[in-house]
Chain A
Amino acid sequence: DTGVSQDPRHKITKRGQNVTFRCDPISEHNRLYWYRQTLGQGPEFLTYFQNEAQLEKSRLLSDRFSAERPKGSFSTLEIQRTEQGDSAMYLCASSLDRVRSGANVLTFGAGSRLTVL
């Protein structure tokens, strides 16, 4: 297994454009998480899935953000009508649910850096 993969690694876009990020988790992991990280800050929770079901979405998250995980494998995070404040590193992580793993240990991808001009 190659770990958690994220694509693209870097995205530069103009304000108002839509962007989409893709995450491929570790194949046997059924949980998938999206976080956002800005410089000097800890990862901020956005949303997470168990298989294809989205279990929670942050209340702080704008309606411009949407995430999907069709068929419980890869996931996409779309940001519509981007704003300069959306500039950040978007992190994906995966894990096994606690029933099977005993603890919710996250394996992170390298992240997708978004710059909104």
Chain B
Amino acid sequence: AQSVTQLGSHVSVSEGALVLLRCNYSSSVPPYLFWYVQYPNQGLQLLLKYTSAATLVKGINGFEAEFKKSETSFHLTKPSAHMSDAAEYFCAVSPLKTSYDKVIFGPGTSLSVIP
């Protein structure tokens, strides 16, 4: 079964500092991978997705993630944190088989940005 782990349920960074949110997946074959963001009192929104094309994926709001097969990782980064980045971030995995499209989410990482 596919699963996702996110190291660190809560991360705090200073405004302007590097953001690094960790995601590791377990799968027998490389899956599709996603990062979603949930701002307070809002629904989940897609930040970016990996679909077996380029291993470095760029998303919205300056975020990017790199797929590393050898490490089974898909960490999310942003060079310079902004106050508006404070939110809950979820990594998700979906298998490549088109007949089985269930999307599994990790437990999430809450990002705080300190002025």
Contacts and interface: CB of A to CB of B under 8 A. Distances in A.
Contact of B51 (A4, A55, A103): A103
A35 B103 CA distance: 10
Interface residues on B, range: 20 to 34
Interface of B: 9, 32, 34, 36, 42-46, 49, 51, 90, 94, 98, 101-108, 110
A67 to B, nearest CB: 14
**Residue from the set A55, A97, A104, A107 with the largest chain B CB neighbour count within 10 Å:** A104
Contacts, number: 60
Interface of A: 4, 31, 33, 35, 40-45, 48, 55-56, 91, 93, 95, 97-99, 102-111
B22 to A, nearest CB: 14
18 contacts: A40-B110, A42-B105, A42-B106, A42-B107, A43-B90, A45-B102, A56-B102, A91-B44, A95-B101, A97-B101, A99-B98, A103-B94, A104-B32, A104-B94, A104-B103, A106-B44, A106-B103, A108-B36
Nearest to A48: B102
A108 B44 contact: yes
Given A33-B103, A42-B105, A105 B43 contact: no
